[in-house]
Amino acid sequence: MSWLNVVRIIQKLKQRDMKKSQFLPLTLALLILATASCKKTTPELKEVFKNDFLIGTAMNSYQVHGRDPLAKPFIIKNFNSITAENEMKWERIHPAPGVYSFAKADSIAEFAQKNNLVLIGHVLVWHSQTPDWVFRDSVGNTLSRDALLARMKDHIFTVVGHFKGKVKGWDVVNEAIDDNGAMRKSLWYQIIGEDYIQKAFEYAHEADPDAELYYNDYNNEQKVKRDGVIPIIKSLQQNGARIDAVGIQGHWHLDEPDLNELDESLSAYAALGVKIVITEMEVNVLPTPPEVYGADIQQQAKYLEELNPYKNGCPDSVQTQLANRYSDLFTIFMKHKKDITRVTFWGIHDGYSWKNGWPIVGRTNYPLLFDRNYQPKPAFWSVIKTAKGE
Ligand code: 9MR
């Protein structure tokens, strides 16, 4: 019985002019009934994991501005941390030289503050979504190392400074390693050299000494890439930079990553003395060409009907596969819970996932725990069972 029904019945009883001695016990019984049925409602994710790690979600400005009225209460109910999916990226927050545009990111920060949600800053230095002007002078020539470092410092000081005290931790450098484990030959790397990473961490720490600082990447649970990320972390540590955690994005599939490899990677990172954050998790259920496993948004594959098989709904067999996959992944997270401080999902429900548009535009994907109507999927219940050790 819902609270709304209880209120309606009580109002009707009142209208009947019932005696106090009859009205009070009846009202009490109704209240007990309503409370009991409330207990059967869906558990809140953040509550279920409250002794283990934070549970976060990516959030966008469409949601924060209330265009989807269900989104905000849903976020407050289920999550205790948010990451701006796009609003703090360089191209959004610093679109032109000297122009900073904080309004959208500020709305997200305000929402976090009002509702006691841990706000994560995403992202300071990345090869992607960074305008070309960042690397050029006013006549279009490539900047010198010193000039690019100065520009990076200005950006980090301005952005981190703006959110000082509001952002708990920053993805300082994103995706600096290629899938083969070598340094990505981004313009940051080409112009500044390998120590652009060290510099970014130093500037971020100077700008907000209280903020946690993370190195964030995808596929870095795989050994090849992990072997590239570990030296970065060690070098930051040896050179005295603050690094609190390694971010594993977690853009995963039904058949990948290999669970043993994930398990080993979590141990390998923890052995460095850093924490682990799962920063952008979802599990793709659609057939996807293996060359676009990962999260490099420059890569695109051609739309074919056979690669979009569940346009009219996710079959039960796939729901079950997804539920088992989430259960396997959370079993490993629980095993490493002393080293994992947060698990963030990259979207609140299937309808918001970037996986509907990448690596093939126009597909219907089902990678998260809640469906397009905010209803928990079998994957949700399997995650809850795993948390309870059932
Ligand atoms: O989910 C994000 C999508 O809405 C954007 O179009 C895209 C480009 O900015 O970025 C997506 O998020 C990425 C994240 O910022 C970094 N790791 C990979 C994520 C998926 O591409």
What's the gap in Å between 387 CA and the centre of ligand 1?
A: 28
In the structure encoding, which two tokens stand for residue 168, read together?
């708990």
| pLDDT of 4 above 60 | no
What's the gap in Å between 351 CA and the centre of ligand 1?
A: 15
- In the prediction, which pLDDT does 169 show? 98
pLDDT digits (tens, 9 = 90+) for 210-223: 999 999 999 999 99
| pLDDT of 20 above 80 | no
Rounded to the nearest angstrom, the gap between the alpha carbon of residue 27 and the centroid of all alpha carbons in its chain is 44
Question: 135 by DSSP, 3-state: which?
Answer: helix
* Among 85, 175, 212, 256, the one annotated catalytic: 175
Pocket mutation for ligand 1, best pick of 83, 354, 361, 365 (most atoms within 8 Å of C-beta): 354
Quick one: average pLDDT of 339-367?
Answer: 97
What's the gap in Å between 86 CA and the centre of ligand 1?
A: 7
Quick one: average pLDDT of 90-118?
Answer: 98
What's the gap in Å between 11 CA and the centre of ligand 1?
A: 50
Confirm whether 110 is a catalytic residue: no
Cα gap 184→205, rounded to integer Å: 24
Shortest-distance atom of ligand 1 to CA 58: 1
Confirm if 362 and 303 have CB atoms less than 8 A apart.
yes
Quick one: average pLDDT of 34-54?
Answer: 82
Which letter does DSSP use for residue 323 in this model? H
Shortest-distance atom of ligand 1 to CA 346: 1
Confirm if 344 and 261 have CB atoms less than 8 A apart.
no
pLDDT digits (tens, 9 = 90+) for 215-246: 999 999 999 999 999 999 999 999 999 999 99
Which letter does DSSP use for residue 132 in this model? G
Confirm if 300 and 359 have CB atoms less than 8 A apart.
yes
Pocket mutation for ligand 1, best pick of 297, 344, 361 (most atoms within 8 Å of C-beta): 297
pLDDT digits (tens, 9 = 90+) for 149-170: 999 999 999 999 999 999 999 9
**31 vs 167, more confident:** 167
Confirm if 253 and 288 have CB atoms less than 8 A apart.
yes
Confidence of residue 346 (pLDDT cuts 50, 70, 90): very high
Residue nearest to atom 10 of ligand 1 (CA): 86
pLDDT digits (tens, 9 = 90+) for 245-274: 999 999 999 999 999 999 999 999 999 999
> Residues lining ligand 1, judged by CB closer than 6 Å?
85-86, 89, 129, 174, 249, 280, 295, 297, 354
Cα gap 9→67, rounded to integer Å: 33
What's the gap in Å between 89 CA and the centre of ligand 1?
A: 10
Confidence of residue 15 (pLDDT cuts 50, 70, 90): low
Confirm whether 221 is a catalytic residue: no
Confidence of residue 19 (pLDDT cuts 50, 70, 90): low
pTM of the model as a whole: 0.90
Render 178-230 in DSSP notation, one character per residue: -TTSSBP--HHHHHH-TTHHHHHHHHHHHH-TTSEEEEEESSTTSHHHHHHHH
Shortest-distance atom of ligand 1 to CA 91: 9
